[in-house]
Amino acid sequence: MDSSDAGWFAGTDRDDIGAAADAIRSGESDDPRDWPSLAVESGFADTEDDYYEALHAATMAATRQAVRERERADDQQLIHAVRAMDDCLRVANELAERVAEWAGSSREDAGTGVEYARELAEADDDGPLVSLAGRVRDLDDEAADLRSHVERTTPEVAPNLAAMAGPVLAARLVALAGGLEELARKPAGTVQVLGAEEALFAHLRGHAPSPKHGVIYAHEAVRGTHPDHRGSAARALAGKLTIAVRVDHYSGERKPELDAELEDRIERIQERDVE
C-alpha cells in the first residue's frame, strides 16, 4: 500500500493495543480516506465492523495514556499539593473552632484557634477533646509540610511566576486555572479576578459591583496599596503575572527584568497615596 493510502493501522498488530494507541496519537493524514475499506484490504481487520471495534479500543487506550501523562505533569502535581495544603488548613481551622467551643464548656483556660488546639494536644489527658486537638495539630503539621513542598516545587514549574507572585500564590493561580498552559492562555483581566468567581457571577447578574481582584489580593503589591488605588495595582500585577506565566510556559527562561518592571509600576501607583 502506498504511504499516502496508509491509515493509522498500517504496520500495526491488530492485537497490540499499546501500539495501536501510539499510532492513533502520532498518526496524521492530509486528506480523508475510506479507512474502514483500506483496513479490510490491508488485512488489518476482517470487516468494517471489526475495524470500528479496533478503532474504538485504540482511541480509548490513547485517551487513557494522555490522561495518565497529564496527571503526571509537574504542574498537575503542584496543583494536587497546593489544594491538599489548603484542604488541611481549612479542616484544621474548622476543627480548631470545634475544639475551642468544646473546651469553653469544660476548661477555665480555654483559648481559640489552631495554636490553642496545639497547646491542648500536649495536655496530660487521653480524653476525646485532647485527641481531637491532636488531630488539629497533625493537620496543621501536614499543611506546613505541604507548604514547604509547594515552595520548593513552584519555582521549578513556573520560575518567573513564582518569583513575582511568591511560590504559594503562584501555585494557587495555576490550580485555579487548571494548569500552567491554561493559565498562560488567559487574558490579564481573567487572571486579575481568579478566585473571585462568586463575586464576578453576582456582578454579571447585576447584584454586585465588579470585583477588582481575586486571590492576587494576597500579594503585597495589591494588599499594601491604598484601597482607592488597589484596582490599578491589581491590573498592573495581573498584567505582569500574565507575561511571567507565558514566558514560563513557552520558554521557561528566567527573566528578572519582569520583577523590576512590576516593582517600578507598583511604586508609581503607590506614590499616589501621598499626593
The span from the CA of 197 to the CA of 208, in Å, is 12
Q: Per mean pLDDT, which range of 34-43, 78-87, 109-118 is the poorest?
A: 34-43
Quote the domain boundaries for residue 241. Answer: 158-275
Tell me the pLDDT tens digit for each residue of 61-85. Answer: 778 777 666 655 689 999 999 999 9
With a CB cutoff of 8 Å and minimum separation 6, the contacts of 207 are none
Residue among 199, 218, 197, 202 nearest 82 (CA): 218
Q: And the C-alpha cell for 26?
A: 502520532
Mean pLDDT of 136-153: 97
Domain boundary among 72, 93, 125: 72
Shared domain check, 165 and 217:
yes
The arithmetic mean of pLDDT across residues 121-150, rounded, is: 95
The rounded percent of the chain whose pLDDT value lies above 70 is 92
Say whether both 138 and 150 belong to one domain: yes
Dist CA 128 CA 107 (whole Å): 14
Looking at the chain, the number of H-run helices and the number of E-run strands are 14, 0
How high is the pLDDT of residue 2?
45
pLDDT mean over 248-252: 87
Residues 20 and 52 in one domain: yes
In 3-state terms, what secondary structure has residue 103?
helix
Angle at 166 between CA 163 and CA 167, to 5 degrees: 95
Q: What is the largest CA-CA distance in the chain?
A: 88
Considering the domain architecture, whether residues 232 and 262 belong to the same structural domain is answered as yes
Query: Which of 72, 100, 115 is the endpoint of a domain?
Result: 72
CB count, 10 Å around CB of 221? Answer: 24
Quick one: 20 and 112 in the same domain?
Answer: no
Q: Are 46 and 130 part of one and the same domain?
A: no
